[in-house]
Structure 1
Amino acid sequence: MSIDSVKLITLPKIIDERGNLSFLEADNHVPFSIKRTYWIYDVPGGEVRGGHSYHNNKEVIIALSGSLDVVVDDGVNKKCFSINRSYYGLYIPNGIWRHMENFSTNSLAFVVASEPYSNKDYEYDYSYFAKK
């Protein structure tokens, strides 16, 4: 899978003087059916999350609060996406190595995934990943 397949998705943004609202729908804004959601929070300064790829799972990562950097890698090229708006989601297909870093204080990353959790879907060996 090429790094060019990683895309920033603009989610709907409904502006209202009482506060804005954004949302996402499976198979519409997100290019897959959602089978799992999770969120990452209270990340200590300097810590890195992720450091793996998935064989099957696809994800969209949204910074609901604060900011973080998502570094993606296809085994040849690397690219860093800074996400800091709750109406943007970063789509990462399967077969792309990723890690998250530079979490701001009180950041909240929300992730929607195409597959239920399975430890067998993770690839943690970067040297094996990069040889594919």
Structure 2
Amino acid sequence: MPVDVPGFEGLVQWVPLPARADARGRLLPLEFGDLPFVPRRVFTVAEVPAGTVRGEHGHRTGQQLLVGLQGRIEILLRHGQREASTVLLPAEPGLLLQAGVWCRQTYAQAHSVLLVLASEPYDPASYIEDWA
């Protein structure tokens, strides 16, 4: 069951993911029918040097589910005057962002990998660059 991020009720939620691990490694199966939306676009961000900042935008429409696959990714969220920080780690819940939430990702460790599932196809016109 999704859990709201404090201060962002209804806008940002932690979504449990069915990760499984054993001596052979970690498996993260994602059944699209079990997600809060059916993804229309999926991408990864990888090979990012430590300390690099990415994102720094929101979307006017749609939803995104951010999943930390490797390393540590620090997240800054903004919506109007609200602001919150959190961290994405492997084998942790994914972070579901609703439309209108501005998000910055800081790749705190080299070799961090972010998986993004989006409810909408790529459209640069939907970007919100300024959160205010």
Task: Give, in whole Å, the separation in 1 of the partners of 2:12 and 2:49.
Answer: 27
Code of the residue aligned with 1:98 in structure 2: it is: C
Number of aligned residue pairs: give it: 125
Structure 2: any 5+ residue segments left out of the alignment?
1-6
For the structure 1 residues 44 and 21, does the alpha-carbon distance in structure 2 shift closer, same or farther, using more than 3 Å as the test?
Answer: closer
Larger % of helix: which?
Answer: 1
What stretches of structure 1 move > 6 A for 4+ residues in a row?
Answer: none
1:26 aligns with 2:28: no
Match of 2:102 in 1: 97
Larger % of strand: which?
Answer: 2
Kept in 1, the 8 Å contact 2:49–2:111? The answer is no
Code of the residue aligned with 1:11 in structure 2: it is: L
Structure 1: any 5+ residue segments left out of the alignment?
none
1:84-116 CA distance string (max 9 Å, x none) = 123421111111011101431111111110001
Match of 2:113 in 1: 108
Match of 2:68 in 1: 63
Match of 1:36 in 2: 41
Query: RMSD over aligned Cα, in angstroms?
Result: 1.7
Which region of structure 1 is more displaced relative to structure 2, 58-67 or 85-94?
Answer: 85-94
**TM-score, reference length from structure 2:** 0.85
**TM-score, reference length from structure 1:** 0.85
